[in-house]
Structure 1
Protein backbone atom coordinates (compact mmCIF):
# COMPACT_ATOMS: atom_id res chain seq x y z
CA UNK A 1 0.00 0.00 0.00
CA UNK A 2 3.04 2.27 -0.26
CA UNK A 3 1.70 4.12 -3.30
CA UNK A 4 -1.70 4.81 -1.76
CA UNK A 5 -0.33 5.88 1.63
CA UNK A 6 0.42 9.41 0.43
CA UNK A 7 -3.14 9.92 -0.83
CA UNK A 8 -6.06 10.55 1.46
CA UNK A 9 -9.55 9.19 0.96
CA UNK A 10 -10.93 12.67 0.30
CA UNK A 11 -8.23 13.44 -2.29
CA UNK A 12 -9.05 10.29 -4.22
CA UNK A 13 -12.82 10.80 -3.86
CA UNK A 14 -12.42 14.21 -5.53
CA UNK A 15 -11.13 12.39 -8.63
CA UNK A 16 -13.88 9.78 -8.93
CA UNK A 17 -16.72 9.43 -11.41
CA UNK A 18 -18.92 6.90 -9.60
CA UNK A 19 -20.28 4.91 -12.52
CA UNK A 20 -23.35 2.82 -13.27
CA UNK A 21 -23.58 1.90 -16.95
CA UNK A 22 -24.93 -1.63 -16.70
CA UNK A 23 -27.48 -2.34 -19.44
CA UNK A 24 -29.95 -3.73 -16.89
CA UNK A 25 -29.71 -0.76 -14.51
CA UNK A 26 -33.08 0.33 -13.11
CA UNK A 27 -34.25 3.71 -11.84
CA UNK A 28 -33.89 2.36 -8.31
CA UNK A 29 -30.32 1.23 -8.97
CA UNK A 30 -29.41 4.65 -10.38
CA UNK A 31 -30.96 6.38 -7.34
CA UNK A 32 -28.95 4.08 -5.06
CA UNK A 33 -25.74 4.81 -6.98
CA UNK A 34 -26.34 8.54 -6.64
CA UNK A 35 -26.96 8.16 -2.90
CA UNK A 36 -23.72 6.19 -2.57
CA UNK A 37 -21.83 8.84 -4.54
CA UNK A 38 -23.17 11.59 -2.30
CA UNK A 39 -22.32 9.64 0.85
CA UNK A 40 -18.78 8.95 -0.38
CA UNK A 41 -18.12 12.57 -1.34
CA UNK A 42 -16.99 11.75 -4.86
CA UNK A 43 -16.85 14.30 -7.65
CA UNK A 44 -19.33 12.91 -10.16
CA UNK A 45 -21.85 10.25 -11.00
CA UNK A 46 -21.89 8.75 -14.51
CA UNK A 47 -25.06 7.10 -15.79
CA UNK A 48 -26.49 5.99 -19.13
CA UNK A 49 -28.15 8.78 -21.13
CA UNK A 50 -31.49 6.95 -21.07
CA UNK A 51 -31.55 7.35 -17.27
CA UNK A 52 -31.45 11.14 -17.44
CA UNK A 53 -32.57 13.46 -15.97
CA UNK A 54 -31.53 12.59 -12.42
CA UNK A 55 -31.47 14.38 -9.10
CA UNK A 56 -27.88 14.42 -7.88
CA UNK A 57 -27.37 17.37 -5.57
CA UNK A 58 -23.71 18.16 -4.95
CA UNK A 59 -22.49 15.95 -7.80
CA UNK A 60 -21.34 16.55 -11.34
CA UNK A 61 -23.62 14.55 -13.66
CA UNK A 62 -21.79 12.72 -16.45
CA UNK A 63 -23.07 10.43 -19.17
CA UNK A 64 -21.86 8.58 -22.26
CA UNK A 65 -22.36 8.79 -26.02
CA UNK A 66 -21.82 6.06 -28.60
CA UNK A 67 -21.39 3.66 -25.71
CA UNK A 68 -19.98 1.06 -25.51
CA UNK A 69 -19.06 0.07 -29.10
CA UNK A 70 -18.39 3.47 -30.66
CA UNK A 71 -19.98 2.12 -33.84
CA UNK A 72 -22.68 4.78 -33.95
CA UNK A 73 -22.88 7.39 -36.67
CA UNK A 74 -21.14 10.58 -35.55
CA UNK A 75 -24.37 12.54 -35.96
CA UNK A 76 -26.14 10.08 -33.68
CA UNK A 77 -23.39 10.49 -31.07
CA UNK A 78 -23.73 14.25 -31.36
CA UNK A 79 -27.51 14.16 -31.00
CA UNK A 80 -27.25 11.78 -28.03
CA UNK A 81 -24.73 14.06 -26.33
CA UNK A 82 -26.76 17.21 -26.98
CA UNK A 83 -29.95 15.63 -25.62
CA UNK A 84 -28.06 14.50 -22.53
CA UNK A 85 -26.87 18.05 -21.90
CA UNK A 86 -30.43 19.31 -22.32
CA UNK A 87 -31.42 16.79 -19.64
CA UNK A 88 -28.88 17.98 -17.11
CA UNK A 89 -25.56 16.27 -17.84
CA UNK A 90 -22.51 18.51 -17.70
CA UNK A 91 -19.92 15.97 -18.89
CA UNK A 92 -20.03 13.56 -21.83
CA UNK A 93 -17.75 10.53 -22.26
CA UNK A 94 -17.89 9.64 -25.97
CA UNK A 95 -16.54 6.45 -27.54
CA UNK A 96 -14.57 6.87 -30.74
CA UNK A 97 -14.80 4.48 -33.69
CA UNK A 98 -12.15 2.04 -32.50
CA UNK A 99 -12.01 0.34 -35.89
CA UNK A 100 -11.10 3.63 -37.57
CA UNK A 101 -8.29 4.14 -35.07
CA UNK A 102 -6.96 0.60 -35.57
CA UNK A 103 -7.04 1.15 -39.33
CA UNK A 104 -5.06 4.38 -38.98
CA UNK A 105 -7.94 6.50 -40.28
CA UNK A 106 -7.33 9.35 -37.86
CA UNK A 107 -9.20 11.81 -40.08
CA UNK A 108 -12.36 9.79 -39.40
CA UNK A 109 -11.62 9.79 -35.67
CA UNK A 110 -11.09 13.56 -35.78
CA UNK A 111 -14.39 14.10 -37.61
CA UNK A 112 -16.15 11.88 -35.05
CA UNK A 113 -14.89 13.84 -32.05
CA UNK A 114 -15.39 17.22 -33.73
CA UNK A 115 -19.01 16.33 -34.47
CA UNK A 116 -19.73 15.70 -30.80
CA UNK A 117 -17.73 18.75 -29.72
CA UNK A 118 -19.74 20.96 -32.05
CA UNK A 119 -23.01 19.36 -30.96
CA UNK A 120 -22.48 20.26 -27.30
CA UNK A 121 -20.43 23.42 -27.80
CA UNK A 122 -19.05 24.79 -24.57
CA UNK A 123 -22.04 23.61 -22.53
CA UNK A 124 -20.26 20.51 -21.27
CA UNK A 125 -16.88 18.94 -20.72
CA UNK A 126 -15.97 16.30 -23.33
CA UNK A 127 -14.04 13.13 -22.53
CA UNK A 128 -12.90 10.89 -25.39
CA UNK A 129 -12.84 7.14 -24.71
CA UNK A 130 -10.09 5.62 -26.83
CA UNK A 131 -10.33 1.95 -25.70
CA UNK A 132 -6.59 1.86 -25.06
CA UNK A 133 -6.35 -1.91 -24.54
CA UNK A 134 -7.37 -2.42 -28.18
CA UNK A 135 -4.73 -0.01 -29.53
CA UNK A 136 -0.96 -0.03 -29.95
CA UNK A 137 1.12 2.63 -28.21
CA UNK A 138 1.46 4.52 -31.49
CA UNK A 139 -2.30 4.41 -32.03
CA UNK A 140 -2.85 5.67 -28.49
CA UNK A 141 -0.54 8.60 -29.18
CA UNK A 142 -2.25 9.43 -32.47
CA UNK A 143 -5.77 9.24 -31.04
CA UNK A 144 -4.84 11.40 -28.03
CA UNK A 145 -3.41 14.01 -30.38
CA UNK A 146 -6.63 13.88 -32.42
CA UNK A 147 -8.75 14.34 -29.30
CA UNK A 148 -6.72 17.40 -28.35
CA UNK A 149 -7.04 18.87 -31.85
CA UNK A 150 -10.80 18.30 -31.74
CA UNK A 151 -11.16 20.32 -28.54
CA UNK A 152 -11.76 17.58 -25.95
CA UNK A 153 -10.90 18.28 -22.33
CA UNK A 154 -10.08 14.66 -21.39
CA UNK A 155 -8.89 11.41 -22.90
CA UNK A 156 -10.16 8.26 -21.25
CA UNK A 157 -8.74 4.75 -21.37
CA UNK A 158 -11.69 2.40 -21.63
CA UNK A 159 -15.38 1.63 -21.59
CA UNK A 160 -14.87 -1.39 -19.36
CA UNK A 161 -16.87 -3.47 -21.85
CA UNK A 162 -14.22 -4.30 -24.49
CA UNK A 163 -12.87 -7.88 -24.52
CA UNK A 164 -9.30 -6.55 -24.87
CA UNK A 165 -9.47 -5.26 -21.31
CA UNK A 166 -9.61 -2.02 -19.37
CA UNK A 167 -7.20 0.53 -17.99
CA UNK A 168 -3.50 -0.15 -17.51
CA UNK A 169 -0.86 2.03 -15.92
CA UNK A 170 1.21 1.72 -19.10
CA UNK A 171 -1.57 3.13 -21.28
CA UNK A 172 -2.18 5.96 -18.81
CA UNK A 173 1.52 6.78 -18.89
CA UNK A 174 1.55 6.91 -22.71
CA UNK A 175 -1.53 9.13 -22.68
CA UNK A 176 -0.03 11.45 -20.05
CA UNK A 177 3.22 11.80 -21.97
CA UNK A 178 1.25 12.62 -25.13
CA UNK A 179 -1.09 15.31 -23.78
CA UNK A 180 1.47 16.76 -21.39
CA UNK A 181 -1.01 18.09 -18.84
CA UNK A 182 -3.01 19.99 -21.45
CA UNK A 183 -5.86 17.47 -21.17
CA UNK A 184 -7.11 15.50 -18.23
CA UNK A 185 -6.71 11.72 -18.22
CA UNK A 186 -9.46 9.43 -17.00
CA UNK A 187 -8.55 5.85 -16.14
CA UNK A 188 -11.55 3.54 -16.22
CA UNK A 189 -12.25 -0.15 -16.59
CA UNK A 190 -11.25 -2.85 -14.14
CA UNK A 191 -10.01 -0.59 -11.31
CA UNK A 192 -11.26 -2.41 -8.23
CA UNK A 193 -8.66 -1.85 -5.50
CA UNK A 194 -6.90 1.05 -3.82
CA UNK A 195 -3.59 -0.30 -5.12
CA UNK A 196 -4.84 -0.24 -8.71
CA UNK A 197 -6.28 3.26 -8.28
CA UNK A 198 -3.03 4.54 -6.77
CA UNK A 199 -1.06 2.99 -9.63
CA UNK A 200 -3.23 4.82 -12.19
CA UNK A 201 -2.83 8.13 -10.36
CA UNK A 202 0.93 7.65 -10.15
CA UNK A 203 0.98 7.00 -13.92
CA UNK A 204 -0.80 10.30 -14.60
CA UNK A 205 -4.55 9.77 -14.22
CA UNK A 206 -6.43 12.87 -13.05
CA UNK A 207 -9.85 11.23 -12.96
CA UNK A 208 -10.98 7.69 -12.15
CA UNK A 209 -14.08 5.93 -13.44
CA UNK A 210 -15.14 3.42 -10.78
CA UNK A 211 -18.14 1.24 -10.13
CA UNK A 212 -16.71 0.00 -6.82
CA UNK A 213 -15.86 3.37 -5.37
CA UNK A 214 -16.54 2.42 -1.74
CA UNK A 215 -14.23 -0.59 -1.85
CA UNK A 216 -11.46 1.44 -3.46
CA UNK A 217 -11.79 4.39 -1.09
CA UNK A 218 -11.70 2.16 1.99
CA UNK A 219 -8.13 1.31 1.02
CA UNK A 220 -6.99 4.92 1.48
CA UNK A 221 -6.42 6.60 4.86
CA UNK A 222 -8.96 9.16 6.06
CA UNK A 223 -6.11 11.52 6.99
CA UNK A 224 -2.60 12.08 5.72
CA UNK A 225 -0.03 9.90 7.42
CA UNK A 226 2.74 11.55 9.42
CA UNK A 227 6.34 10.47 9.66
CA UNK A 228 7.86 9.29 12.92
CA UNK A 229 9.72 12.57 13.23
CA UNK A 230 6.56 14.68 13.16
CA UNK A 231 4.88 15.67 16.39
CA UNK A 232 1.37 14.58 17.14
CA UNK A 233 -0.44 11.70 15.52
CA UNK A 234 -2.81 11.07 12.65
CA UNK A 235 -5.49 8.48 12.19
CA UNK A 236 -5.01 5.92 9.43
CA UNK A 237 -8.59 4.74 9.42
Structure 2
Protein backbone atom coordinates (compact mmCIF):
# COMPACT_ATOMS: atom_id res chain seq x y z
CA UNK A 1 0.00 0.00 0.00
CA UNK A 2 1.32 3.46 -0.90
CA UNK A 3 1.03 6.04 1.82
CA UNK A 4 -0.33 9.47 0.91
CA UNK A 5 1.18 12.60 2.43
CA UNK A 6 0.14 16.23 2.39
CA UNK A 7 2.07 18.66 0.19
CA UNK A 8 4.20 20.04 3.04
CA UNK A 9 5.21 16.54 4.14
CA UNK A 10 5.98 15.56 0.56
CA UNK A 11 8.25 18.56 0.16
CA UNK A 12 10.08 17.78 3.40
CA UNK A 13 10.54 14.12 2.47
CA UNK A 14 11.67 15.00 -1.04
CA UNK A 15 14.30 17.34 0.39
CA UNK A 16 15.43 14.74 2.93
CA UNK A 17 16.07 12.02 0.36
CA UNK A 18 17.19 14.48 -2.35
CA UNK A 19 14.65 13.15 -4.80
CA UNK A 20 16.20 14.82 -7.85
CA UNK A 21 19.45 12.86 -7.69
CA UNK A 22 17.48 9.60 -8.01
CA UNK A 23 15.63 10.62 -11.18
CA UNK A 24 16.44 9.62 -14.75
CA UNK A 25 14.47 12.20 -16.74
CA UNK A 26 12.85 10.08 -19.46
CA UNK A 27 12.10 11.25 -22.99
CA UNK A 28 11.04 8.12 -24.86
CA UNK A 29 7.88 9.41 -26.53
CA UNK A 30 7.92 8.44 -30.23
CA UNK A 31 6.95 11.97 -31.26
CA UNK A 32 9.74 13.66 -29.30
CA UNK A 33 11.87 15.99 -31.39
CA UNK A 34 14.98 18.16 -30.96
CA UNK A 35 13.04 20.87 -29.15
CA UNK A 36 11.94 18.38 -26.51
CA UNK A 37 15.48 17.05 -26.09
CA UNK A 38 16.61 20.62 -25.48
CA UNK A 39 13.85 21.13 -22.89
CA UNK A 40 14.51 17.82 -21.10
CA UNK A 41 18.24 18.48 -20.89
CA UNK A 42 17.68 21.99 -19.56
CA UNK A 43 15.29 20.64 -16.93
CA UNK A 44 17.65 17.85 -15.94
CA UNK A 45 20.49 20.32 -15.53
CA UNK A 46 18.38 22.82 -13.61
CA UNK A 47 16.93 20.31 -11.16
CA UNK A 48 20.04 18.18 -10.77
CA UNK A 49 18.64 14.91 -12.08
CA UNK A 50 20.88 11.86 -12.29
CA UNK A 51 20.44 11.50 -16.03
CA UNK A 52 18.41 12.08 -19.18
CA UNK A 53 17.18 8.99 -21.02
CA UNK A 54 16.71 9.58 -24.75
CA UNK A 55 16.27 7.41 -27.81
CA UNK A 56 19.41 6.59 -29.86
CA UNK A 57 18.62 9.23 -32.47
CA UNK A 58 18.82 11.96 -29.80
CA UNK A 59 22.01 10.89 -27.98
CA UNK A 60 24.39 13.17 -29.88
CA UNK A 61 22.24 16.25 -29.25
CA UNK A 62 21.78 15.46 -25.56
CA UNK A 63 25.52 14.91 -25.03
CA UNK A 64 26.23 18.22 -26.75
CA UNK A 65 23.74 20.06 -24.55
CA UNK A 66 24.95 18.50 -21.31
CA UNK A 67 28.66 18.69 -22.21
CA UNK A 68 29.22 15.03 -21.32
CA UNK A 69 28.85 15.59 -17.58
CA UNK A 70 26.17 14.99 -14.96
CA UNK A 71 23.27 14.69 -15.65
CA UNK A 72 24.53 11.79 -17.74
CA UNK A 73 23.02 10.78 -21.07
CA UNK A 74 21.31 7.39 -21.03
CA UNK A 75 20.44 5.39 -24.14
CA UNK A 76 18.14 2.35 -24.39
CA UNK A 77 19.40 -0.61 -26.42
CA UNK A 78 17.09 -3.12 -28.13
CA UNK A 79 14.20 -1.03 -26.88
CA UNK A 80 11.41 -1.78 -26.19
CA UNK A 81 11.09 -5.44 -27.24
CA UNK A 82 14.59 -6.81 -26.67
CA UNK A 83 14.04 -9.07 -29.67
CA UNK A 84 16.70 -7.63 -31.95
CA UNK A 85 19.80 -9.72 -32.60
CA UNK A 86 22.89 -9.49 -30.42
CA UNK A 87 24.80 -8.03 -33.35
CA UNK A 88 22.16 -5.32 -33.75
CA UNK A 89 22.24 -4.52 -30.04
CA UNK A 90 26.03 -4.35 -30.05
CA UNK A 91 26.02 -2.02 -33.05
CA UNK A 92 23.44 0.18 -31.35
CA UNK A 93 25.49 0.19 -28.15
CA UNK A 94 28.72 0.97 -29.99
CA UNK A 95 27.15 3.95 -31.74
CA UNK A 96 25.64 5.28 -28.50
CA UNK A 97 29.01 4.99 -26.75
CA UNK A 98 30.82 6.72 -29.61
CA UNK A 99 28.33 9.58 -29.37
CA UNK A 100 28.94 9.98 -25.63
CA UNK A 101 26.23 8.01 -23.82
CA UNK A 102 27.36 7.25 -20.27
CA UNK A 103 24.75 4.65 -19.43
CA UNK A 104 23.14 1.95 -21.59
CA UNK A 105 19.82 0.30 -20.79
CA UNK A 106 19.71 -3.09 -22.48
CA UNK A 107 16.35 -4.76 -22.94
CA UNK A 108 16.54 -8.42 -21.98
CA UNK A 109 15.66 -10.93 -24.70
CA UNK A 110 12.50 -12.29 -23.10
CA UNK A 111 11.90 -14.86 -25.81
CA UNK A 112 15.27 -16.46 -25.17
CA UNK A 113 14.77 -16.41 -21.42
CA UNK A 114 11.35 -18.04 -21.64
CA UNK A 115 12.66 -20.65 -24.09
CA UNK A 116 15.35 -21.70 -21.63
CA UNK A 117 18.25 -20.11 -23.52
CA UNK A 118 19.80 -18.61 -20.39
CA UNK A 119 23.34 -18.94 -21.75
CA UNK A 120 22.46 -16.85 -24.81
CA UNK A 121 20.89 -14.17 -22.63
CA UNK A 122 24.00 -14.10 -20.44
CA UNK A 123 26.40 -13.91 -23.40
CA UNK A 124 24.50 -11.02 -24.94
CA UNK A 125 24.50 -8.94 -21.76
CA UNK A 126 28.11 -9.78 -20.95
CA UNK A 127 29.22 -8.75 -24.45
CA UNK A 128 27.60 -5.33 -24.12
CA UNK A 129 28.93 -4.89 -20.57
CA UNK A 130 32.45 -5.62 -21.83
CA UNK A 131 32.02 -3.20 -24.72
CA UNK A 132 30.86 -0.43 -22.37
CA UNK A 133 33.22 -1.12 -19.48
CA UNK A 134 35.71 1.64 -20.25
CA UNK A 135 33.21 4.48 -20.43
CA UNK A 136 29.67 3.53 -19.42
CA UNK A 137 27.62 1.38 -17.08
CA UNK A 138 24.92 -1.03 -18.19
CA UNK A 139 21.41 -1.46 -16.85
CA UNK A 140 19.35 -4.50 -17.80
CA UNK A 141 15.63 -3.99 -18.34
CA UNK A 142 13.68 -6.96 -17.00
CA UNK A 143 10.12 -6.12 -18.12
CA UNK A 144 9.02 -7.51 -14.77
CA UNK A 145 5.29 -7.74 -15.54
CA UNK A 146 5.89 -10.24 -18.38
CA UNK A 147 7.93 -12.68 -16.29
CA UNK A 148 6.85 -15.50 -14.00
CA UNK A 149 8.43 -15.73 -10.55
CA UNK A 150 11.08 -18.29 -11.50
CA UNK A 151 11.90 -16.33 -14.67
CA UNK A 152 12.31 -13.17 -12.62
CA UNK A 153 14.82 -14.83 -10.31
CA UNK A 154 16.72 -16.27 -13.26
CA UNK A 155 16.80 -12.92 -15.07
CA UNK A 156 18.13 -11.18 -11.97
CA UNK A 157 20.90 -13.73 -11.48
CA UNK A 158 21.88 -13.64 -15.17
CA UNK A 159 22.09 -9.84 -15.23
CA UNK A 160 24.17 -9.68 -12.06
CA UNK A 161 26.51 -12.45 -13.16
CA UNK A 162 26.98 -10.81 -16.57
CA UNK A 163 28.21 -7.62 -14.89
CA UNK A 164 25.24 -5.26 -15.10
CA UNK A 165 25.33 -2.27 -12.75
CA UNK A 166 21.55 -1.87 -12.46
CA UNK A 167 18.34 -3.82 -12.85
CA UNK A 168 15.50 -1.80 -14.35
CA UNK A 169 11.99 -3.06 -13.67
CA UNK A 170 10.03 -2.03 -16.78
CA UNK A 171 10.23 -0.27 -20.12
CA UNK A 172 6.97 1.52 -19.34
CA UNK A 173 5.32 -0.14 -22.34
CA UNK A 174 4.06 -3.25 -20.53
CA UNK A 175 2.80 -2.31 -17.11
CA UNK A 176 4.32 -0.34 -14.29
CA UNK A 177 6.35 -0.81 -11.15
CA UNK A 178 4.92 -1.47 -7.69
CA UNK A 179 6.37 -1.04 -4.22
CA UNK A 180 6.27 -4.83 -3.85
CA UNK A 181 8.37 -5.26 -7.02
CA UNK A 182 11.12 -3.10 -5.60
CA UNK A 183 11.03 -4.73 -2.18
CA UNK A 184 11.35 -8.15 -3.77
CA UNK A 185 14.28 -7.06 -5.92
CA UNK A 186 15.99 -5.53 -2.91
CA UNK A 187 15.52 -8.76 -0.96
CA UNK A 188 16.90 -10.87 -3.81
CA UNK A 189 19.87 -8.66 -4.65
CA UNK A 190 20.88 -7.49 -1.14
CA UNK A 191 22.72 -4.41 -2.32
CA UNK A 192 24.80 -6.19 -4.96
CA UNK A 193 23.33 -4.13 -7.82
CA UNK A 194 21.40 -0.90 -8.32
CA UNK A 195 17.62 -0.98 -8.72
CA UNK A 196 15.87 1.34 -11.16
CA UNK A 197 12.10 1.53 -10.75
CA UNK A 198 10.28 2.56 -13.92
CA UNK A 199 6.82 2.52 -15.43
CA UNK A 200 3.79 4.39 -14.17
CA UNK A 201 5.47 6.65 -11.62
CA UNK A 202 3.15 9.65 -11.67
CA UNK A 203 3.22 11.18 -8.18
CA UNK A 204 5.65 12.35 -5.54
CA UNK A 205 4.06 9.85 -3.15
CA UNK A 206 5.01 6.99 -5.46
CA UNK A 207 8.50 8.29 -6.03
CA UNK A 208 9.24 8.63 -2.32
CA UNK A 209 7.74 5.23 -1.49
CA UNK A 210 9.76 3.50 -4.22
CA UNK A 211 13.01 4.99 -2.95
CA UNK A 212 12.14 4.03 0.61
CA UNK A 213 11.46 0.49 -0.66
CA UNK A 214 14.95 0.25 -2.14
CA UNK A 215 15.01 1.91 -5.56
CA UNK A 216 18.25 3.76 -6.25
CA UNK A 217 17.01 5.31 -9.49
CA UNK A 218 13.59 6.25 -10.84
CA UNK A 219 12.75 6.36 -14.53
CA UNK A 220 9.98 8.87 -15.17
CA UNK A 221 8.95 11.71 -17.46
CA UNK A 222 7.25 13.42 -14.50
CA UNK A 223 10.30 14.33 -12.44
CA UNK A 224 9.84 18.05 -12.93
CA UNK A 225 6.27 17.79 -11.66
CA UNK A 226 7.53 16.11 -8.49
CA UNK A 227 9.80 19.05 -7.72
CA UNK A 228 7.63 22.05 -8.53
CA UNK A 229 3.98 23.00 -8.51
CA UNK A 230 3.83 24.39 -12.06
CA UNK A 231 2.86 21.42 -14.22
CA UNK A 232 1.98 23.52 -17.26
CA UNK A 233 5.61 23.83 -18.37
CA UNK A 234 6.06 20.08 -18.73
CA UNK A 235 5.48 18.90 -22.30
CA UNK A 236 4.77 15.40 -20.99
CA UNK A 237 1.94 16.74 -18.86
CA UNK A 238 0.37 18.48 -21.86
CA UNK A 239 0.42 15.51 -24.22
CA UNK A 240 -0.21 11.81 -24.00
CA UNK A 241 2.07 10.39 -21.30
CA UNK A 242 5.37 9.20 -22.77
CA UNK A 243 6.45 5.71 -21.74
CA UNK A 244 8.88 6.12 -18.85
CA UNK A 245 12.49 5.13 -18.84
TM bucket normalised to smaller: 0.7 to 0.9
Gaps of 5+ in 1: 220-237
Partner of 2:224: 214
Q: Is 1:14–1:43's contact at 8 Å kept on the other side of the alignment?
A: yes
Matched, 1:161 2:161: no
What RMSD, in angstroms, separates the aligned Cα atoms of the two structures?
A: 1.8
Name 1:56's counterpart in structure 2.
66
Mean CA deviation greater in 35-44 or 52-61 = 52-61
C-alpha distance in 2, partners of 1:37/1:193?
18
Residues 64-92 of structure 1 deviation map (CA, whole Å, 9 limit, x = unaligned): 10001101111211121121111011000
Of residues 188, 207, 213 in structure 2, which corresponds to 1:203?
A: 213
Q: Residue 25 and residue 72 in structure 1: after superposition, are their counterparts in 2 closer, same or farther (change >3 A)?
A: same
Contact 1:186 1:208 in 2 (8 A): yes
Q: Which has the higher helix share?
A: 2
1:125 Cα shift? 0.6
Task: Detail structure 1 runs of 4+ shifted over 6 Å in the superposition.
Answer: none
Please give the alpha-carbon distance, in whole angstroms, between the structure 1 residues aligned to 2:85 and 2:130: 15
Deviation at 1:138, TM superposition (A): 2.2
Query: What does 1:30-69 align with in structure 2 at a 5 Å threshold?
Result: 30-53=37-60, 54=62, 55-57=65-67, 58-69=70-81
Kindly indicate whether the alpha-carbon contact (under 8 Å) linking 1:78 and 1:120 is maintained by their aligned counterparts in 2: no
Equivalences for 1:68-83 in 2 at 5 Å? 68-83=80-95
> CA offset at residue 217 of structure 1?
2.8
Tell me, yes or no, if the aligned pair for 2:13 and 2:208 is still in contact at 8 Å: no
Encode CA deviations 1:164-211: one digit per residue, 9 max, x unaligned. x02122221221112110100000111010111122112210000110
The number of residue pairs the alignment matches comes to 217
Over alpha carbons, which structure has the higher Rg?
1
The offset of 1:109, in angstroms, is: 1.7
| Corresponding position of 1:87 | 99
Report the TM-score, using the length of structure 2 for normalisation.
Answer: 0.83
Structure 1 CA distance for aligned equivalents of residues 150 and 199 of structure 2: 21
Give ranges in structure 2 of 5+ residues lacking alignment: 230-245
Question: Which residue pairs with 1:21 in the alignment?
Answer: 28
